[in-house]
A = this chain, B = another copy of it.
Amino acid sequence: MSFDYFPTTTIFIGVAAFSALIACLYAFVLYKKVTKIKVNHQRIEEISSYIHEGAMAFMKRQYTIIIYFALGVGSLLALTELIPSLQGAEGVGWKAAIAFIFGALFSGLAGWIGMHAATKANSRTTSAANTGGMPSALRVAFSGGSVLGLTVVGLGLFGLTALFFIFYWVYGGNTGVPREQYLALTHAINTVTGYGLGASLIALFGRVGGGIFTKAADVGADLVGKVEAGIPEDDPRNPAVIADNVGDNVGDVAGMGSDLTESYIGSIISALTLGLYAFVTFTPQQVMDGIVTIDSSVLSGIFASVLYPLLIAGFGAISAVVAVWMIRRKDWHRPQFALSMSTYLAALVMLVTSLVLSHVLFDGVRAWGVFGAVTTGLFVGIGIGFIAEYYTSSDYKHVKEIANQSLTGHATNVIAGYSVGMLSTFLTVVVLVAGIVISYLFTGDMYGIALAAVGMLSTAGITISVDAYGPIADNAGGIAQMSKLDEGVRKITDKLDSVGNTTAAIGKGFCIGSAALTSIGLFFAFEKSAGLSDGRGIDILQPGVMVGVFIGAMLPFLFTSLVIKSVGRAANKMIDEVRRQFKEDPGIMEGTSLPDYARCVDISTKAALKEMILPAMIAVFSPIIAGVFLGAEGLGGLLVGGLVSAIMLAVFMANSGGAWDNAKKFIEEGNLGGKGSDAHKAAVTGDTVGDPFKDTAGPSMDILIKLMSIVSLIIVPILAQIEPILSFLFN
């Protein structure tokens, strides 16, 4: 098919944008459906309003800070216009600043809406469990989660396609002259990279700040409430109980959602960039310099490569809509089955539509190649999820082994979990590397790897929906407990919650896998933009590259240490506050007076936002500093060192944490002495060690590597203008 003239391109971009809008629309319908459910139970409403208000208070405070950050970064980007040598360079300048602001805006809006829906859906889930039983509770919780899932892909993709189209038009894409259309395309793609940076900013705050918030509240609530005061989990007398429930939303809804939004947008941007280089032997620079001329057939091929990832993402949004719609139609009594079905259904729709699309946009072998790359990504996502489940589920030997090691004490439990997490890197890396190799072979270049990332993340809509369902069900259980509802209601929410734990483990694997593939895609987009593969590449034998690799590999360790210390400090503040409230008002423990929930939420909020500043600075500034000192080559080394080190730590920490958690639950189910036994106490230690691993430090790794990659991609035009300070480290 031919794509060399304006209307065809418009139609195809329009299809992607329209798909995104459908997802938004359906999210709106679901939001209305969820919120119009009447709760009719004063206690449920009260408790849930605390959670809702706490969560929105956190979001508001967080977004206020983000606005300052966004204006700062946006201004810096815009100000590069003043540097003569950077005028006209894309990726920086006022257009990139606009893209950046829109990226932050759309991504932030998606998070806001999703959070709103989730904290409305929790009480409705409790209420539905109370009045309608399992199927209707499941439907409400799943619908609540789907609002986030569909908004993320809908808004994220719509903003990206719209901006892309506008910039294409602004840069003169409607001239009908192949060369100018090609250059407009190049400029538009470079400019929308700023959109990805905007999503990254939201993800940085969402994931790292959210991770610190949720664990500070969790540890504070548990340590003083459960251990010191001896009151059960989710007891309304615990001043930190609302903060703990808010934390579930802040970490597992907003944090997870922003992480996958970043991956989703990052993967598309890397595929757009690499699409410019796919199946051709020239570079945009050569076209600009007039060395290569573009005719309409060449342009047609390039358009196909560039439009393909946008449309795959669009069909992904549709597949999520279809899956959610189908699942909602039936009364499910087995929640695990329903959630799995939704994922498989979406994947199936994706496979079929992308098969068709591949043959519309490409011919013959190439059509099968791009389809193969997308499919590879889908399977890698599923594969890494399964590996995470294998190492973290008590159905398999590893978690049982950790539980057994709890019999000999705290230390042996910790060592066993540590060892299982490290072991899990092996299979994960094997699958990831196989995915990289296979997707590369399918297209014969890096474009295939970027397509694999897009393919994996095409299911982001449904994956986020399923993931966000978990904390809603968890909250619903907490509300049921605090509202003193029947044992039967709690049973339903417990069942829903336990399914949520499995999906969370798989989801965490998916987040890591997608962050890895996206970062690799962005890395190759970076090197293409910087023109590194035209020269001598990124040669490890250059001392400057070696230095970059070393420092890059160290950063994830430093980052981990900092966020874990942050959790500790924030948790200590929470502990002090809970103790203070118990001490100053004995009525709280007696149940005669209400604790000050808002203050605990406030403490977690302030601590989370304050504590994330240093790690955030490291993530943002280390690539810039590396670029200035070591140049694009050394920065490339830094990215690769950081990438591999962060992936290993992310996998290790997520799986160790999940395995410890489930080993504890396995004992709590009555095995090896059950609750209260010495083995259980040891298992609680492991679980507590694992909490910041799996919910703060581990997920932060995803952000670290994506953010460093996208910052690097953004600063390419600046690096092209300066001589690295340590240039003597290159010969």
A553 lies within 8 A of chain B by Cβ: yes
The answer to whether B554 and A425 touch across the interface, beta carbons within 8 angstroms, is yes
The answer to whether B429 and A554 touch across the interface, beta carbons within 8 angstroms, is yes
Chain B residue at minimum C-beta to C-beta distance from A223: B408
Q: How far is the CA of A411 from the CA of B520 in the complex (A)?
A: 35
- Max chain B Cβ within 10 angstroms of own Cβ: one of A414, A436, A441, A540: A540
The answer to whether B537 and A419 touch across the interface, beta carbons within 8 angstroms, is no
Could you tell me which residues of chain A, from 540 to 571, have a CB within 8 Å of some CB in chain B?
A: 540-543, 545-547, 549-554, 557-558, 560-562, 564-565, 568
Chain B residue at minimum C-beta to C-beta distance from A516: B550
Q: List 27 A-B contacts (CB under 8 A).
A: A409-B685, A410-B410, A414-B414, A415-B564, A415-B688, A415-B692, A419-B561, A422-B558, A422-B561, A426-B557, A426-B558, A429-B551, A433-B550, A436-B546, A436-B547, A437-B547, A437-B729, A440-B543, A441-B728, A446-B543, A524-B541, A532-B541, A537-B542, A538-B541, A552-B644, A553-B553, A685-B685
Chain B residues whose C-beta falls within 8 Å of the C-beta of A557 in the assembled complex? 422-423, 425-426, 648, 652
A134 lies within 8 A of chain B by Cβ: no
Q: How far is the CA of A687 from the CA of B726 in the complex (A)?
A: 42
Q: How far is the CA of A423 from the CA of B566 in the complex (A)?
A: 13
* Residue in B412, B418, B419, B432 whose beta carbon sits within 8 Å of that of A550 in the complex: B432
A640-B527 contact in complex given A409-B685, A538-B541, A645-B648, C-beta closer than 8 Å: no
Q: How far is the CA of A286 from the CA of B644 in the complex (A)?
A: 37
Chain B residue at minimum C-beta to C-beta distance from A524: B541
Q: How far is the CA of A564 from the CA of B402 in the complex (A)?
A: 13
A329 lies within 8 A of chain B by Cβ: no
In the complex, how many residues of chain A place their beta carbon closer than 8 angstroms to a beta carbon of chain B? 79
Q: Mark A633-669, 1 if CB is under 8 A from B, else 0.
A: 0001100110011011000100000000000000000
The answer to whether B648 and A689 touch across the interface, beta carbons within 8 angstroms, is no
A405 lies within 8 A of chain B by Cβ: yes
A533 lies within 8 A of chain B by Cβ: yes
The answer to whether A423 and B558 touch across the interface, beta carbons within 8 angstroms, is yes
A536 lies within 8 A of chain B by Cβ: yes
Q: How far is the CA of A157 from the CA of B544 in the complex (A)?
A: 33
A464 lies within 8 A of chain B by Cβ: no
The answer to whether A685 and B411 touch across the interface, beta carbons within 8 angstroms, is yes
A564-B425 contact in complex given A410-B410, A540-B540, A553-B644, C-beta closer than 8 Å: no
Copies of this chain per assembly? 2
Q: How far is the CA of A560 from the CA of B445 in the complex (A)?
A: 34
Chain B residues whose C-beta falls within 8 Å of the C-beta of A687 in the assembled complex? 411
The answer to whether B729 and A440 touch across the interface, beta carbons within 8 angstroms, is yes
A414-B689 contact in complex given A537-B536, A542-B537, C-beta closer than 8 Å: yes
Minimum C-beta distance from A695 to chain B (A): 13
Chain B residue at minimum C-beta to C-beta distance from A729: B437
A233 lies within 8 A of chain B by Cβ: no
* Residue in B412, B539, B564, B729 whose beta carbon sits within 8 Å of that of A568 in the complex: B412
Known: A227-B409, A423-B561, A429-B550. 5 other contacts (CB 8 A): A408-B575, A414-B689, A418-B564, A419-B564, A419-B565
Q: How far is the CA of A64 from the CA of B441 in the complex (A)?
A: 48
The answer to whether B425 and A648 touch across the interface, beta carbons within 8 angstroms, is no
Chain B residues whose C-beta falls within 8 Å of the C-beta of A423 in the assembled complex? 557-558, 561-562, 565
Minimum C-beta distance from A397 to chain B (A): 12
The answer to whether B541 and A422 touch across the interface, beta carbons within 8 angstroms, is no
Chain B residues whose C-beta falls within 8 Å of the C-beta of A27 in the assembled complex? none
A644-B537 contact in complex given A414-B414, A568-B405, A568-B416, C-beta closer than 8 Å: no
Chain B residue at minimum C-beta to C-beta distance from A636: B540
Chain B residues whose C-beta falls within 8 Å of the C-beta of A552 in the assembled complex? 644
Q: How far is the CA of A533 from the CA of B731 in the complex (A)?
A: 11
The answer to whether A415 and B689 touch across the interface, beta carbons within 8 angstroms, is yes
- What is the interface of chain A, defined by CB distance below 8 A to chain B? 223, 227, 405, 408-412, 414-416, 418-423, 425-426, 429, 432-433, 436-437, 440-441, 445-446, 520, 524, 527, 532-533, 536-543, 545-547, 549-554, 557-558, 560-562, 564-565, 568, 575, 636-637, 640-641, 644-645, 647-648, 652, 684-689, 692, 726, 728-729, 731
Chain B residues whose C-beta falls within 8 Å of the C-beta of A686 in the assembled complex? 411
**What 9 A-B pairs come out closest when comparing CB atoms?**
A537-B539, A411-B688, A553-B644, A422-B561, A423-B561, A429-B554, A410-B685, A425-B557, A538-B540
Chain B residues whose C-beta falls within 8 Å of the C-beta of A540 in the assembled complex? 537-540, 545, 636-637, 640
A551-B433 contact in complex given A524-B541, A541-B538, A640-B540, C-beta closer than 8 Å: yes
Minimum C-beta distance from A298 to chain B (A): 21
The answer to whether B685 and A436 touch across the interface, beta carbons within 8 angstroms, is no
Chain B residues whose C-beta falls within 8 Å of the C-beta of A546 in the assembled complex? 436, 520, 640
Q: How far is the CA of A546 from the CA of B433 in the complex (A)?
A: 9
Chain B residues whose C-beta falls within 8 Å of the C-beta of A527 in the assembled complex? 541
Chain B residues whose C-beta falls within 8 Å of the C-beta of A445 in the assembled complex? 731
Q: How far is the CA of A11 from the CA of B589 in the complex (A)?
A: 87
Q: How far is the CA of A223 from the CA of B645 in the complex (A)?
A: 35
Chain B residues whose C-beta falls within 8 Å of the C-beta of A541 in the assembled complex? 524, 527, 532-533, 537-538, 636
Chain B residues whose C-beta falls within 8 Å of the C-beta of A425 in the assembled complex? 554, 557-558
Q: How far is the CA of A490 from the CA of B533 in the complex (A)?
A: 66
Chain B residues whose C-beta falls within 8 Å of the C-beta of A575 in the assembled complex? 408
Q: How far is the CA of A547 from the CA of B436 in the complex (A)?
A: 8
Chain B residues whose C-beta falls within 8 Å of the C-beta of A641 in the assembled complex? 644
Minimum C-beta distance from A658 to chain B (A): 16
The answer to whether B437 and A543 touch across the interface, beta carbons within 8 angstroms, is yes
Q: How far is the CA of A539 from the CA of B223 in the complex (A)?
A: 51
Chain B residues whose C-beta falls within 8 Å of the C-beta of A688 in the assembled complex? 409, 411-412, 415
Q: How far is the CA of A437 from the CA of B728 in the complex (A)?
A: 10
Q: How far is the CA of A416 from the CA of B688 in the complex (A)?
A: 12
- Max chain B Cβ within 10 angstroms of own Cβ: one of A416, A426, A539: A539
Chain B residues whose C-beta falls within 8 Å of the C-beta of A420 in the assembled complex? 561
Chain B residues whose C-beta falls within 8 Å of the C-beta of A416 in the assembled complex? 568
Q: How far is the CA of A436 from the CA of B547 in the complex (A)?
A: 8
Minimum C-beta distance from A688 to chain B (A): 3
Chain B residues whose C-beta falls within 8 Å of the C-beta of A440 in the assembled complex? 543, 729
Minimum C-beta distance from A174 to chain B (A): 35
Q: How far is the CA of A222 from the CA of B565 in the complex (A)?
A: 31
Minimum C-beta distance from A248 to chain B (A): 20
Minimum C-beta distance from A452 to chain B (A): 12
- Max chain B Cβ within 10 angstroms of own Cβ: one of A410, A423, A645: A410
Chain B residue at minimum C-beta to C-beta distance from A554: B429
Q: How far is the CA of A726 from the CA of B437 in the complex (A)?
A: 10
Q: How far is the CA of A502 from the CA of B641 in the complex (A)?
A: 32
Minimum C-beta distance from A729 to chain B (A): 7
Chain B residue at minimum C-beta to C-beta distance from A572: B408
Chain B residues whose C-beta falls within 8 Å of the C-beta of A410 in the assembled complex? 410, 685
